[in-house]
């Protein structure tokens, strides 16, 4: 089955601005926003030239925080810097797989990676899964632990809430078949066997509760080919 990510409720791609390595910028967090299907909050950053960008926020980010982008950034939470300038043992998140992609690794809420070592082959990071990966030294990363951790620890007390969470992430959720329900619950329910019992094609103008099955279907069943004489 083909997976389709939910397209509604999205604000903008949560990526780093396309700055070169020689540039040094500082932005201010003007708002913390929520995006459908994403547990980690996003920080809306405004730079001095008026441009704005959305980036995942780390723990401790608040409105008015200053974020630095560039080689001369300090090793403090929220700053974005190339991993070649990050000391071993530093906790990072939103890591670029390739320079310029804006961050594609370690973007789940509450996750983080650890800078393990520097070598001639590149910089080795320990991912949240426990695996190690070696990346190009120029790839950028954000210092700190991504915010929003623990959002999945709270149990869902109602099935509707679980269904809405799955829907926001584009995941499937089990749905009870109509023929397996009682007759007063669903139009396809009831009977001595699990069968519809009537035509499953309904009008486009059918009232709520009756509008289930093949809605305003133009064709149903197998097309019959007339024999040529």
pTM of the model: 0.76
Going by DSSP bridges, is the β-strand pair 214-215/201-202 parallel, antiparallel, or unpaired? parallel
Q: What pLDDT, in 10s, does the model give residues 178-211?
A: 999 999 999 999 999 999 999 899 999 999 999 9
Q: What pLDDT, in 10s, does the model give residues 98-153?
A: 998 999 999 999 999 999 999 999 999 999 999 999 999 999 999 999 999 888 88
What average pLDDT score do residues 16-36 get?
91
Q: Is the pLDDT of residue 228 over 60?
A: no
Alpha helices in 51-204 (DSSP H): 159-168
pLDDT level of residue 229 (50, 70, 90 thresholds): low
Going by DSSP bridges, is the β-strand pair 140-143/132-135 parallel, antiparallel, or unpaired? unpaired
Query: Using an 8 Å Cβ cutoff, are 143 and 81 in contact?
Result: yes
Nearest 5°: the CA angle 170, 175, 176 is: 175
Three-state DSSP class for residue 219: coil
Strands of the sheet with 132-135, listed across from one edge: 52-56, 42-47, 25-33, 66-69, 80-82, 140-143, 91-93, 113-118, 123-126, 132-135
Q: State the CATH class of domain 25-143.
A: mainly beta
Share of the chain above pLDDT 70, in %: 96
Mean pLDDT, the chain, as a whole number? 90
Please state, as a whole number, how many other Cβ atoms lie within 10 Å of the Cβ of residue 155. 7
């Amino acid at each position: 089955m083909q997976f389709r990510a939910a397209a509604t409720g999205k604000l903008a791609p949560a990526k780093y601005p396309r700055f070169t390595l020689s540039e040094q910028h500082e932005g201010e967090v003007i708002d913390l926003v929520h995006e459908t299907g994403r547990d980690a909050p996003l920080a809306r950053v405004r730079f001095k030239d008026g441009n704005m960008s959305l980036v995942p926020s780390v723990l401790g980010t608040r409105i008015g925080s200053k974020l630095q982008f560039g080689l001369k950034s300090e090793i403090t939470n929220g700053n974005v810097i190339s991993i070649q300038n990050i000391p071993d043992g530093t906790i990072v998140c939103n890591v670029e797989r390739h320079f310029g992609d804006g961050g594609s690794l370690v973007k789940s809420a509450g996750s983080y990676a650890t800078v393990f070592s520097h070598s001639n082959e590149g910089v080795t990071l320990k991912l949240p899964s426990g695996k190690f990966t070696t990346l190009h030294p120029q790839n950028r990363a954000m210092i700190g632990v991504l915010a929003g951790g623990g959002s999945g620890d709270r149990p869902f007390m109602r099935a509707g809430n679980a269904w809405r969470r799955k829907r926001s992430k584009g995941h499937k959720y089990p749905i009870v078949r109509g023929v397996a329900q009682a007759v007063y619950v669903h139009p396809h329910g009831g009977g001595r066997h699990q069968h519809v019992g009537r035509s499953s094609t309904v009008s486009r103008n059918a009232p709520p509760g009756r509008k289930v099955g093949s809605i305003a279907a133009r064709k149903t069943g197998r097309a019959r080919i007339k024999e040529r004489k």
